[in-house]
Structure 1
Amino acid sequence: MAKHLKGATAVETHSAILDLIRSSGVVSRIELADRSGLTGASISRIVKQLLTEGLIAEVGFGDRTGGKRRTLLQLNARSRHAVGVSLDFASITYLVTDLSGEVIARLDADGIGHEPPGEVITRIAAELAGLVESAGVDRSTLMGIGMAVAGRQDSAHHVLRSNPQADDWELFDIEETLSSATDLAVVVENDSTCAAIGEFWVGRIPASADFATVYMATGFGLGLVTNGDIYRGSSSNVGEIGHMVLDVHGPPCWCGSQGCLEMLAAPARIVERALEQPGLADELGLQGEPGTIRQDAERVARAAAADHEQALPVIEESAFYLSRALVSVTNLLDLDQIILAGPGFGAAGEIYLRRIWQDLERLSFVRAVHPTKVGLSKSSDISAALGAASLVLHSRLTPHQTSSRMALAAR
């Protein structure tokens, strides 16, 4: 940490110490000085300010080691709150979290469907207000709203672009419209980006750790965290792993290419392959409609997890293609850790986990140098919404790590 803090401004140092307390869980002033490279006097001054702001709290004393017992510090979780929203065709998930990322209220509502964007935003504002009120959260403690969406992003205009299930949202300014409707700061990010920052914040992952999160819902996305911040690229579109070409002669993709991972392994392909199996659709109650892809794919996944002889090969095929994509990604980025997140991994995550781990152990270019750890998110079904709320906390409380998308920090 000392290397990161060297030459930092007072604001950046303040931010970095708060983040160190977050990732430590419980820590003393002496430990903060040791881990940061700052003097005891500097740590005392920063801690005093954080206590005054109510962002941290003293929570007892450490074990006696011969001298004065050390006072322990941790985040004052209920001093601030954030709202996270996962915007999807089939459903909208709302969360209210505290400063630590703990969920204190949740609401699952109808998705955007084919409803006009303006009407959806009006509904979202009303549903959010009701959720916050029912949770008993003081509105003055709300730091903002994070919105997780699918599709390519245009970071210059803060809009959703090129999501084949949401044509009406093309060029619609979600941030400004929802902010006006709620009188709260709003930030919009790709759902895989949100999932990654959620794992970082809620999982207490230190800023020194680099990792990737693979998010599967309707398609695939990859969020990359390095040095405590999301790597976004020039337009916030890093991580479109779903459009990695695995078969140059494969089926055409809506993006214009052929043989993309999404066309070979995403929920729509899972359902397509399941419908080809004699009698499986009737047995599992698959509807095979565009609006039921997620539900149908989940039914196939649940059956595969129970070793259904027809469903299991379908999920294993999806896991095979994802695994091979991640071998290439790992070879390119030299990843130390991969986390699987999102509702697509909810029922059959262990099947994907097992195949990815086996292939990385066997095929990764750096396998003889270091292993690449693979794990399942502990909050797959809500990882995008939880990450969206975490994004609010991340951008407001640790601006030293936030390279872009600073609408919240500016308010």
Structure 2
Amino acid sequence: MAKILKGATAQETHSAILDLIRSSGVVTRVDLADRSGLTGASISRVVKQLLADGLIIETGLGDPTGGKRATLLQFNPRARHAVGISIDTPSTTYVVTDMNGRVIEQLSAKGIGRDTPATVIKRLTAELEDLIVKTSIEPATLVGVGVALAGRQGGGDQLLRANANKYAWEPFAVRDTLSAAIDHPIVVENDSTCAAIGEFWTGRIPSANDFATVYMAAGFGLGLVTNGDVYRGSSSNVGEIGHMVLDVNGPDCWCGGRGCLEGLAAPARVVSLAEQDKSLTADLGLRGRRSAIRSDFARIARAAASGEPRCLALIEESATYLAKALLSITNLLDLDQIILAGPGFSEAGEIYVRVASAEINRLSFVRAMHPTRVELSKLGPSAAALGAASLVLHSQLTPHQTANRGALSG
């Protein structure tokens, strides 16, 4: 933190100190001075301004140390609010959070289905307005709306997928369309990036800790947090771990490659393998429709978690492919923490954790220097929506690291 604040502007210093308070939960002025490298007088000035802005509050006294007991500081949770929306095929999830990222209102509504993006956005706008009214929060405290989406961000004329109508979200200008309809700043990111920043913000992870979040829904995505911000790449499309090639002679993938993680281990692949066993298909009541892949996968995963041997073998095969991909990512990035998030891990996430942990800590290049922790997200199935709200708070409240950050529109 001291390095970050060297030569920083007043705004950057205020932002960095606010982030220290976020990650600490409860902290004293003395602690802030020790961790930031600033003088006590400088910390006092910053804290005084943050108190005046209503962003933090004094919340009692610290433990006795023989002298005057220090005053404790923490976020003022009601000072700011954010909305997060996760747009997915089965459902759309809305959350309204306070400044700590705590959910104060949540709504699950109709998903994309077969509707056009324009139709979905029109419906979303109406549902969002109703939700904001329902929460009864002060309008001035709502700092923005975050939207989590799967797939490529930023649009463009060249589509990766063959059916332009079916994948109409790829070139659709979500942020611009929403900005024209909603009188709040808007940020749009892929779901894995949102999930990662949700872990960072709500989990009070310090800015010095780098980690990755793997998000599984229909496919796989990876969000990377480094130096207190998500890494986006040159076009905000970093983290397509689902298209890491694991078998050069493997099945064709819609991206144009062969043997991608998605084609070997995603829910659609697991369901396809299960359907080759007619007795298993009948026992589980698999529906065998494309629209039912996610629910069929959930049935297989639940059975695997209960110990059904045929299903356990299928999920362990999927987990092994994911583990191989994460091993390569760990060797590349020297990670010490990987978090598994998203609805795909809801039913059998512990199996994925077990297989990935064993593989990485048996074979990673740095295993003799430090372990790599693989764990399930504590955010639950709403990780992307909660992360989208957290991304808004992160962008608005702690903007001292802006090298990679996408701007909010509005």
TM-score bracket relative to the smaller structure: over 0.9
Q: Which residue in the other structure is 1:251 paired with?
A: 251
Q: Which residue in the other structure is 2:321 paired with?
A: 321
Cα RMSD after superposing both structures:
1.7
Q: Does 1:286 align with 2:286?
A: yes
1:181 to 1:262, Cα distance in 2 relative to 1, 3 A: same
- Return the offset for 1:166: 4.9
Q: Which residue in the other structure is 1:298 paired with?
A: 298
8 A contact 2:153–2:170 mirrored in 1? no
8 A contact 1:246–1:260 mirrored in 2? yes
Q: Does 1:148 align with 2:154?
A: no
Query: Which amino acid is the alignment partner of residue 151 of structure 1?
Result: G
Query: Which amino acid is the alignment partner of residue 145 of structure 1?
Result: V
Q: SS state of the match for residue 188, structure 1?
A: strand
1:160 to 1:270, Cα distance in 2 relative to 1, 3 A: farther
CA shift digits 1:308-364 (9 cap, x unpaired): 121111101100100011111111111111011111111101100000011112111
- Structure 2: gaps (5+ residues): none
Greater Cα offset, 196-205 or 119-128:
119-128
| C-alpha distance in structure 2 between counterparts of 1:42 and 1:166, whole Å | 56
Q: SS state of the match for residue 169, structure 1?
A: coil
1:194-343 equivalences under 5 Å are 194-343=194-343
Q: SS state of the match for residue 99, structure 1?
A: coil
Moved over 4 A (4+): 157-166
Query: Which amino acid is the alignment partner of residue 326 of structure 1?
Result: L
Greater Cα offset, 177-186 or 398-407:
398-407
8 A contact 1:244–1:260 mirrored in 2? yes
| C-alpha distance in structure 2 between counterparts of 1:25 and 1:143, whole Å | 21
| C-alpha distance in structure 2 between counterparts of 1:142 and 1:159, whole Å | 34
Query: When the two structures are superposed, what TM-score results if normalisation uses the length of structure 1?
Result: 0.96
1:29 to 1:158, Cα distance in 2 relative to 1, 3 A: farther
Q: Which residue in the other structure is 1:131 paired with?
A: 131
- Return the offset for 1:162: 4.6
8 A contact 1:152–1:162 mirrored in 2? no
Q: Which residue in the other structure is 2:177 paired with?
A: 177
Q: Which residue in the other structure is 2:102 paired with?
A: 102
Query: Which amino acid is the alignment partner of residue 109 of structure 1?
Result: A
| C-alpha distance in structure 2 between counterparts of 1:256 and 1:336, whole Å | 32
Q: Which residue in the other structure is 2:29 paired with?
A: 29
- Structure 1: gaps (5+ residues): none
Query: Which amino acid is the alignment partner of residue 184 of structure 2?
Result: L
Q: SS state of the match for residue 278, structure 2?
A: coil
| C-alpha distance in structure 2 between counterparts of 1:99 and 1:161, whole Å | 38
| C-alpha distance in structure 2 between counterparts of 1:109 and 1:162, whole Å | 29
* Number of aligned residues: 408
- Return the offset for 1:36: 0.4
1:161 to 1:174, Cα distance in 2 relative to 1, 3 A: farther
| C-alpha distance in structure 1 between counterparts of 2:367 and 2:287, whole Å | 42
| C-alpha distance in structure 2 between counterparts of 1:372 and 1:407, whole Å | 33
- Return the offset for 1:404: 3.5
Q: SS state of the match for residue 347, structure 2?
A: coil
- Return the offset for 1:379: 1.5
Query: When the two structures are superposed, what TM-score results if normalisation uses the length of structure 2?
Result: 0.96
8 A contact 1:152–1:161 mirrored in 2? no
Q: Does 1:368 align with 2:368?
A: yes
Query: Which amino acid is the alignment partner of residue 55 of structure 1?
Result: L
| C-alpha distance in structure 2 between counterparts of 1:158 and 1:79, whole Å | 38
8 A contact 2:230–2:405 mirrored in 1? no
1:5-154 equivalences under 5 Å are 5-154=5-154
CA shift digits 1:226-253 (9 cap, x unpaired): 1001111111111110000001111000
Greater Cα offset, 250-259 or 282-291:
282-291
8 A contact 2:152–2:170 mirrored in 1? no
Q: Identity of aligned pairs, percent?
A: 65
| C-alpha distance in structure 2 between counterparts of 1:83 and 1:368, whole Å | 43
| C-alpha distance in structure 1 between counterparts of 2:325 and 2:115, whole Å | 35
1:274 to 1:119, Cα distance in 2 relative to 1, 3 A: same
| C-alpha distance in structure 1 between counterparts of 2:40 and 2:166, whole Å | 54
Query: Which amino acid is the alignment partner of residue 269 of structure 1?
Result: R
| C-alpha distance in structure 2 between counterparts of 1:204 and 1:166, whole Å | 39
- Return the offset for 1:169: 2.0
| C-alpha distance in structure 1 between counterparts of 2:228 and 2:156, whole Å | 23
| C-alpha distance in structure 2 between counterparts of 1:109 and 1:280, whole Å | 32
Query: Which amino acid is the alignment partner of residue 377 of structure 2?
Result: S
| C-alpha distance in structure 2 between counterparts of 1:277 and 1:112, whole Å | 31
1:7 to 1:322, Cα distance in 2 relative to 1, 3 A: same
Query: Which amino acid is the alignment partner of residue 11 of structure 2?
Result: V
| C-alpha distance in structure 1 between counterparts of 2:43 and 2:158, whole Å | 42
Q: SS state of the match for residue 309, structure 2?
A: coil
- Return the offset for 1:282: 2.0
| C-alpha distance in structure 2 between counterparts of 1:83 and 1:161, whole Å | 30
| C-alpha distance in structure 2 between counterparts of 1:383 and 1:327, whole Å | 23
1:204 to 1:270, Cα distance in 2 relative to 1, 3 A: same
